[in-house]
Amino acid sequence: MSYLGVGVSPGNVPVYHSSSTTNLKVIDRRVKVAELVLRFLICGLGLAAALLVATDTQVKEIFMVKKKAKFTDMKALVFLVIVNGIAAAYSLLQALRCVVSMVKGNVLFSKPLAWMIFSADQVVAYVAVAVVGAAAQSAALAKLGQSELQWMKICNMYDKFCTQVGEGIATSVLVGLSTILISCISAFNLFRLYGGGKNKSSSRW
């Protein structure tokens, strides 16, 4: 028989059900898998965004003079390539850490290390979102121009170049959103270390 979650064996020895512990393990497993997927996603998307912008060129002949458009002509695009490359490399390292921790089970995960990962994830997220905003603003000027400042609509001449840059910026937006989710997960991993003593052993990974 059972009463209030306590089972009684034939020898009258109480047997306590550990449903709460099981639920914590399930949640912990899901958080690990979500972090791993997001880390690899950022790595792939960041690399794709950097390559889309960095390899984008187009040559046009204007008044008998050939002019080549490339990403280095716009500082915002240069920063976009650099930040996406850094985000991809950093996420790959963190993804490998996640794989090792999942394979070995219990890996040392101290509070100082958790703070380092949390801080790094926050920096990557902020920089990724900021550089996307700067690149989008520059792309809008190239697309729409600025008549008050007599800035031409560059995309009317370099349509292929602008299209590929737009694809790179769109991919970078996904990178930025993914880094925000990762920063939330790292915050969860950090602050649960300051929870009750019963949860500390299950949160070290």
Query: For 40-44, 62-66, 103-107, which range has the lowest pLDDT when averaged over its residues?
Result: 103-107
Cα–Cα dist 81/132, whole Å: 10
Cα–Cα dist 137/147, whole Å: 16
Most confident of 47-56, 155-164, 189-198: 47-56
Is the per-residue pLDDT at 170 higher than 80? yes
Q: What pLDDT score was predicted for residue 26?
A: 75
Average pLDDT over residues 139-159: 73
What DSSP string runs through 33-65?
Answer: HHHHHHHHHHHHHHHHHHHHHHT-EEEEEETTE
Q: How many CB atoms lie within 10 A of CB 50?
A: 24
Report yes or no: 124 and 90 within 8 Å, Cβ to Cβ: yes
Q: What pLDDT score was predicted for residue 161?
A: 85
Q: What is the pTM of this model?
A: 0.78
Cα–Cα dist 152/134, whole Å: 19
Q: What pLDDT score was predicted for residue 45?
A: 96
Among candidate residues 181, 199, 173, 193, the one with its CA nearest the CA of residue 31: 181
Report yes or no: 81 and 50 within 8 Å, Cβ to Cβ: yes
The mean pLDDT value of the chain amounts to 80
Q: pLDDT of 4-35, one tens digit each?
A: 444 544 555 554 445 666 776 777 778 888 89
